[in-house]
A and B are shown apart, each in its own frame.
Chain A
Amino acid sequence: MRHPILDHACSLTLLLAAGLPLGLPPMTAGAARAEEPAPVKIGFVTFLTGPAAAPFGIPDHYAAELLVDQLNAGQVPVPYNRVGLGGAKIEAKFIDEAGSAADVVTQFRNLVERDRVDVVVGYVSSGNCLAIAPVAEELKELTVLDICGTTRIFEEKPRHYVFRVNPHATMDNVAAAKYVLDKYKDISIYSGINQNYAWGQDSWRDFRLAMKDLDPKATVDKELFPKLFAGEYGAEISTLLTSNAQFIHSSFYDGDLEAFMYQAAARGLPQRIPFVLTAGETSLYRLGPKLPDGAIIGARGPHSFFAHDSTLNTWFQKVYVDRFHDQPVYPSYDFAQSLFGLKAAWEKAQAKKGGSRPTTEEVIAAFEGISFPTSSTTVQMTLGNGHQGITDIAYGTYKFDKAANKPTVVDIVRYPAECVNPPANVDSIAWLEGGMKGAKCD
């Protein structure tokens, strides 16, 4: 006779039991041969689903996959030509960053305690970076935060196990202000449209502070904050059309930026008033001729159009395009940069130890304050007691090359790292409010 209770109880038990095998350390793919060092397990966390996948998650994922494969094959140019990290191959595990803060923290704990990864690299959202950092410290897990822009990570508390190679968002807006003031002399009024969440609010705050330092007489006409992923910007465009700003600042990126530009360009707004797009580079390939010439474009660092010429850069672009048939955008460059930093620190620690695998503490000691080349530029870990990197940055003006049918950026101006980043041990907001004292801009 059927026992439905037993059936259900069985399935429930099975379900619960399914959770337990996950607690055992997973089998390493392929038993390591005697001479080959044990692999390094890295957990990569980025947005694999949801609206942040297209602008950040996919480029991050591509860059990570690409680099892991190339590193494991030893195909990366000098000085990163050693296999994996110091000869040990990298075993990658990808986790989606989507979900609530509770989900993100739970998944981080799973990565560290259940899957026993050696390093965690990733995180795009500033909120997630802030939630993860204390947990990384608690679990003593080496974590390299990727692209989140908030300055709060190292300014609120000192961190030992957390690093961030990519600069925070302050330099984006300081450089933007410098560029727009160099290009358009005599600015007296400007407006801004930024997304109504921390990234947009922080970007606008930093930009306003920088403008006040560089051009005290300039005033703000309209400051708009549409909802993130609002999609429909009719009212905002009307407001900007009837304002008398001389330029418009925006930290919009990807989907929102494209939707806004399609609607705005259709109504003649960017043709009339130039835009300063601090994260505009992500959308240039898709916007193409739809974005009018003259927009000021940033890439949150010297990436893609702005990358310094180097063997690493040429190599990176080539293998990326060959594999994914798509141009790498700044999130890909940033992710690659994070991995290069980890590798540089790891191998420095290993060399110091005479060739044997470094411990987490040894890698941390090597990572602090290190300086290393990447496919974009050179990174120096000078802020946050050696845990936060700074680089130079570049801005340019958009021009669509009709003959070649592709987007280009002209009138590129570079700003050295110490010109647009606060000095060590100075909080970003305090630095901006204090007139950017200590900046070295020659």
Chain B
Amino acid sequence: MGVAVVLTAFAIVTDGLVYAAYLFLVAVGLTLIFGVMKILNVTHGSFYAFGAYGAAIAVGVYFDRGLPAAGGFLLMVLVAMAIGLVLGLILERGLLRLVYGKDEVVVVLVTYAAFLILEDVIQLIWGANSYALYQPLGVVGNVDVGPLVLSGYDIGLVAFAGLLAVAASFALKHTRWGRLLTVVIFDRELAAAFGINVSLVYTITFVIGAMLGALGGATMAPKIAVTLGIGVEVIVLAFAVVAIGGMGSVEGAFLGALIVGECRAAAVHLAPQIELFVIYAVMALVLVLRPQGLFTRAQPRKI
């Protein structure tokens, strides 16, 4: 009996980590864009979807040719970056630039309009069928822990998410560009007053955010059926994690993802009835206790 409890506890911890990795990968791009540009980017769902489709097709072809596995994973990342770069640039330079300075809600609606258009673009390009990229799952193998089988790919995802969190955190604090971004997150006007090219920072941030969004989709592609509508589900999850973690905070997104992931895993194992509510309940609770999310700098009140 005790073994079953320990096993369940272990399963909850590992499942929570996997779901947290999924949430983090999906949300980190969004929190950067939101922190720097104060834009709730609904098109983030499209980046995710495009990344998934791109990976499903390109990497699927790669694996079918029987080429070495390591290259396949590298290709996954490269495809995502390429898609994010192109889409991000088109959207930021072509569309967002036209509405900077307008009411925040208007900008959100612009991204929403872009999302609607891109949803149908996906259907026009790839049709309504679903695509599968199951090869990477098989390549990596499994780890057995008693009756529990952990997928190697899942473990890889957790490691990848962790590395990404560390890298992003480091980049923001210790590289020149990272520091510039941090300043703009903190206070846009002040940054501009100090001569920082805020417009360029915006473009670069948006493109990085797009790449990260596409990367989220590409890394999740082997686990899901890549079909219409996968972007919609992801948007709200990403928004919730960003709200929990605090605007622009990578650590916040990481911690928020962990909390939600573990709570949800616990719910699935112990109280499946409430699984649907968990992310919203966590978000509500966090916001009640810390109204600006987990990690925000104290903002001085401006008169």
Contact = CB atoms under 8 A, between A and B. Distances in A.
Direct A–B contact in complex, judged by CB atoms less than 8 Å apart:
yes
A222 B129 CA distance: 32
Interface stretch (B38-46, B91-99, B142-150, B188-196): B142-150
A379 B203 CA distance: 62
A266 B138 contact: yes
A227 B264 CA distance: 12
Contacts of B138: 266
A267 B142 contact: yes
B137 A231 contact: no
Given A49-B123, A258-B225, A230 B233 contact: yes
A234 B18 contact: yes
A226 interface: yes
Given A238-B269, A242-B148, A57 B128 contact: yes
A256 B151 CA distance: 19
Interface string B263-279: 01100110011011000
A15 to B, nearest CB: 18
Contacts of B222: 262
Given A231-B233, A262-B222, A263-B137, A54 B130 contact: yes
Interface residues of B, number: 47
Interface stretch (B6-14, B70-78, B105-113, B290-298): B6-14
Main secondary structure, interface of B, reads helix
Interface string A278-293: 0000000010001000
B156 interface: no
A58 B127 CA distance: 10
B275 A258 contact: no
B22 interface: yes
Given A51-B230, A53-B128, A227-B275, 15 more contacts: A48-B128, A51-B227, A54-B128, A54-B129, A58-B129, A225-B273, A234-B151, A235-B11, A239-B269, A241-B11, A255-B130, A259-B223, A262-B137, A262-B223, A262-B224
19 contacts: A48-B128, A49-B128, A49-B228, A50-B228, A50-B229, A51-B230, A54-B227, A227-B233, A230-B233, A232-B22, A239-B268, A255-B224, A259-B223, A262-B132, A262-B137, A266-B134, A266-B137, A266-B153, A267-B142
Interface of A: 48-51, 53-54, 57-58, 196, 222-227, 229-232, 234-236, 238-239, 241-242, 254-256, 258-259, 262-263, 266-269, 286, 290
Interface of B: 4, 7-8, 11-12, 14-16, 18-19, 22, 119-120, 123, 128-130, 132, 134, 137-138, 142, 147-151, 153-154, 220, 222-225, 227-230, 233, 264-265, 268-269, 272-273, 275-276
